[in-house]
Amino acid sequence: MEIDSTPGYDDLNVPTHVAIIMDGNGRWAKARGLPRVAGHQRGADSVRVAIESAIKYGVRYLTLYSFSSENWKRPADEVGDLMGLLRRYLRNEINELHQNGVRLRVIGERSDLSSDIVGLIEECEKRTSGNTCLDLIIALSYGGRMEIVNAVKAIVEMSVTGDLSQDQINENLLESYLDTSGIPDPDLLIRTSGEKRISNFLLWQMAYAEFIFLDTLWPDFKEKDFTFAISEFGRRERRFGATD
């Protein structure tokens, strides 16, 4: 992974946190008469493009929606292929990520994952924990509704045991129990493939994110697509509910 240090990006209004729904792998493969796994394999190359582009532009946090809690409903062979790709990614890419100062973090329901994948995740997170160039957050076996439910359960349990009063319950407290605790909310959401929905992704955190929907299928995602999204973000006026 060679990061281009071309000057000129400092003049742009670059978001601190970019989140991406990587959509279109299956359609990309189908259009070429290939099995779906070929689309997922090609999509892994686009992950590298997104990481390199984020570093180049000075984005501090990049969250990728790689596998939703609903994706477990897909055919077993496709889920198996996806888990195999994940294993290879964690084994083969971690050295370059670490060398480029990327900190890897994974959010989602790890209890649904196989023990060897959980072990690889923990190993990668530990190895890169001190890196500060880019936080790469992978949403894996993740669902926004369940994340909120789990946070509420934890708060209710504290309330029942008397460790928490009703007056102490507020937005900041709930955020502290989310998977993304300590991570700023996304400023920009990019979704590829032309679909215009957020698919149970970071429901709480997306309250004031700017949404950009690209017709590009994820395996065809290039730096120019990232550049377009960043430029479009810079043209928008963010008021967070206030007036000028």
- Which of 23, 135, 187, 225 is catalytic? The answer is 23
pLDDT digits (tens, 9 = 90+) for 4-33: 444 344 567 899 999 999 999 999 999 999
Q: How large is the C-alpha radius of gyration of the chain?
A: 19
- Please tell me the distance from the alpha carbon of residue 5 to that of residue 164, in angstroms, as a whole number: 49
Strand 17-21 versus strand 188-191 pairing type: parallel
Amino acid 12: pLDDT = 72
Residue 23 annotated to the active site: yes
- Please tell me the distance from the alpha carbon of residue 144 to that of residue 111, in angstroms, as a whole number: 16
Amino acid 238: pLDDT = 75
Stretch (H or E) spanning 157: helix 144-160
Amino acid 244: pLDDT = 63
Q: Which CATH class is domain 14-143+184-234?
A: alpha beta
Nearest residue to 62 (alpha-carbon basis) of 105, 98, 30, 31: 105
Amino acid 1: pLDDT = 44
- Which of 10, 71, 170, 187 is catalytic? The answer is 71
Residues of the chain short of pLDDT 70, as ranges, are 1-11, 242-244
Stretch (H or E) spanning 145: helix 144-160
pLDDT digits (tens, 9 = 90+) for 90-109: 999 999 999 999 999 999 99
Domain boundaries, the chain: 14-143+184-234
Residue 100 annotated to the active site: no
Amino acid 7: pLDDT = 38
Neighbours of 44 (CB within 10 A): 19
